[in-house]
A and B are shown apart, each in its own frame.
Chain A
Amino acid sequence: MLSYERLALPRLASGRSRTFRRVLRDPLTVAGCGIVAVLAAVAIAAPWLTLHNPILIDLHERLLPPGPGHPLGTDDLGRDIYSRIIAGSRISLQAGFLVLIFAVAIGTLVGGVSGYLGGWAEEAMMRVTDMFLAFPPLVLAMAVAAALGRGLTNAMIAVVFVWWPWYARLVRSQVLTLKEREYVLAARAQGAGPAKILVRHVLPNTSSQIVVQASLDVGYAILVTASLGFIGLGAQPPLPEWGAMIAQGRTYLLDDWWYPTFPGLAIMLTVLGFNLIGDGLRDALDPRSGGGRRG
């Protein structure tokens, strides 16, 4: 087994309704759900929540400290930081979710198929997966983003490149375990084709693991996208992406501290929220947790 596989040792899923109640019992998880819910609401309602146009510049209002009219201050082109953070929530959430959806989809496909087929097909696919996993994540993301050209979409593609192998491994090890289960063998005996078996029997049982991992990863995906934005390879000005805002604001840290600070807090809060949810889900889905949180 390779190191990444060890982390994906399967755990048994418990009943759905019990899970839900367990999730709600823990205050930290509830807090996480709260944060993410607020974030989602903000992102959806963004156009109504902004006080000023997040993109339009107003040179007469530049670098104002937090105060009336500009609760979080303004940036070097006079744009309201609060409005930009609100608008940026859309960008970050979209980036996080889209990246994960694609990473999970590709990863599941590769992992599921390779796990089920076995033999040389599995070996080949897993070697390719290893290749991607061998890259230090940010270096790969940077190289791909630079190759594709600067921009948010390309940055997201780059992050998908980095992320999908984890899900491939996760799904594959799950498939390997479940392949020999009775209901699968029974379905095979009944003549069901591989696709049907995968979709109807194997994958639903891996879903809880994927959901846990994915909910943890949304936050990290947002963080990596912000890192790319910080370097300048992600979302391009004048888009109010949080990482890019920190990058532009860093020269103003000493006199206009609000400029780089608030976007940083936004990132932190978002990642925190998703982490709390992911943790909560993982604890709830693991029967050995003894009802308490794992931290």
Chain B
Amino acid sequence: MVAKGKRWPISILSVLLVSLGLLAFVGGSPAQTRQRILVHVDPAALRSADPATAYDAPSIQTIRGVYEGLVTYKGTGPDIQPVLATSWESMNSGMVWRFHLRRGVKFHDGTSVDANAVKFSFDRFLKLGKGGAGNFEPFLSSSGIRVIDPYTVEFRLTKAYGPFLETMASEFGPWIVSPTAVRAHEKNGDMGADWLKDHDAGSGPYTIQSVTPNQQVVMVAFKDYWQGWAPNNFAEVIIRTVPETTTRRMLLERGDAQLVNRPSPEDADALKRNPRIHVYDDPEMRNLWIILNTRREPLNNKTVRHALSYAFDYKGFVEKAEAGYATQARGPIPARMWGWDSSLYQYSFDLQEAKTLLAQAGYPRGNFSMVIWHLTYDDMRRAAAVFQGGLQQLGIDAKIQQVTGGALFDAINSADPKKMPDALTLYWIPDFADPLNFLYPVFATASIGKGGYNGSLYSNPAYDSLIGMAFGEPNRDKRIAIYKKAQEILVEDAPHLWIADLHNIVATSNTVTGYVFNPYLPQTFNYHGMRYKP
């Protein structure tokens, strides 16, 4: 029998030995089985896989993999490409649209994609009224959607809407679901909403195998997908939630993940130097603004706003703070968006000019104070700091506050100039590929207060009527002309500082090819187009 005094050391030793044994046992994981699995690590988790109501990037990532719409955006640009619809025509100057559907396409449950499915999907989408439905409600209602024959659907709009096709290609909502599957899993009249949170009823290349909340989504290839499969397509796509940026990079570098979304600019630089990693760097449709409160003294004075527009170190921000992964903005719309006007005036960092303008406006030594809000994102934090630095040199005392999304939304929706700060940083990403989605919800008078996003409380009747014309104009060239004028007005009135167009940074292992970034389908991935390269 072991002497009493020796009991403890022996038990400790045995625990250690057992642990080492386990370590050896579980040791290495087989690498071969991983080849056709794509592991994508993303900062946020899926909230709901319901295509009609989901609105956040991680949910849409999954949805794009398992559902399809009538049309989508082609390649890297805004042009429209047929998917479930093979052709379409518009009549009555854009008030009626007819889509002809592709034959022989099946949903994952085996039923056919037909006009009834399309009507069912849109009816459901509009009835649930969440997420992207707000983009459709102004011009579409259920009664306007008609099944002409099993492969033809007609949309009668309630009012003329220029960007109709672009909105139909948006990734927020207009996906086609299988009525059979939805009806089979309906509970208490929820139209299948509960079941669709972690299951799918789509026709897309992949299908959801499992959802582990806050952890991962596993998608497997749908064998009968109508576009077919290439030999080195990925058989499985796993989206894993990893909130910590540094951890994501570690996973990629050690090969435990093959696709990383949004590495930090510094990580991107470091990853570029790694021969086994490929970094994609594309300007995207996301821009960063500093919104000025146009109803607050002295910012209600246009000259003061001009002065502040010269007080931001754009070059320093873009080249240093963002390490080159951003481009200085020119106007309210990102340069990549069609309709962007390259001849717009661009402000620069010019403290002399700023001081002159301030003096003109009656604030020769600054001598007023400002409060700047920003959300938790690193680039917003840096932009606020850069702005503060410039303001200080003008004698303006600026305080920075980090706020939650809730407080920000609250303030913007209140339309109360007293509730809003003097300045706030904001990103904007369009829901669909038309400048209207920048120019209307953010700068129109009707967008002030609830339902809109007019954070500067900017109100200009001339601007409003101009934008109103674009709403109903189906001809793209005519819209471009209208948008050009609108942009010029905004640059002149300077309700915002146009800071930067941001870049979409994605890093993959060299074993993954085929990733194509389409800025109109932001933050999501073309899993079916991606291939494994040994």
Q: Which A residues fall within an 8 A CB radius of B? A: 56-57, 59-60, 62-63, 76-78, 146, 149-151, 232, 236-238, 248, 250-256
Contacts and interface: CB of A to CB of B under 8 A. Distances in A.
Contacts of A151: 401
Contacts of A256: 266
Contacts of B267: 251, 254-255
A213 to B, nearest CB: 32
Given A232-B376, A253-B246, A146 B404 contact: yes
A251 B268 CA distance: 12
B510 to A, nearest CB: 20
Nearest to B376: A232
Contacts of B401: 150-151, 236
A151 B403 CA distance: 9
A236 to B, nearest CB: 5
Contact of B386 (A59, A236, A237, A251): A59
Interface in B136-185: none
Nearest to B378: A251
A111 B266 CA distance: 53
Contact of B246 (A146, A248, A254): A254
A150 B388 CA distance: 19
B320 A237 contact: no
Contacts of B402: 150, 232, 236-237
Interface string B368-402: 00000000101001101110110010000000111
Given A253-B246, A255-B266, A255-B270, A237 B317 contact: no
A225 to B, nearest CB: 16
A62 B317 CA distance: 12
B2 to A, nearest CB: 29
A238 B244 contact: no
B90 interface: no
Given A251-B267, A251-B378, A59 B400 contact: no
Interface of B is mostly: helix
For A57, A250, A252, A255, the residue with the greatest tally of chain B CB atoms inside 10 Å of its CB is A57
B516 interface: no
B381 A237 contact: yes
A77 B386 CA distance: 9
A168 B266 CA distance: 49
Q: What class of interface size applies to chain B in its complex with A?
A: 20 to 34
Interface string B111-125: 000000000000000
B266 A251 contact: yes
B389 A150 contact: no
Contacts of B316: 59-60
Interface in B397-451: 400-404, 407
B264 A56 contact: no
Given A151-B401, A236-B400, A59 B381 contact: no
A248 B400 CA distance: 15
Interface string B459-478: 00000000000000000000
B313 interface: yes
Contact of B320 (A56, A60, A236): A60
B249 interface: yes
Contacts of B249: 254
A237 B244 contact: no
Contacts of B376: 232
A100 to B, nearest CB: 26
Interface string B346-386: 00000000000000000000000000000010100110111
Contact of B382 (A77, A150, A232): A77
A130 to B, nearest CB: 31
Contacts of B16: none
Given A232-B376, A232-B402, A76 B382 contact: yes
A232 B378 CA distance: 12
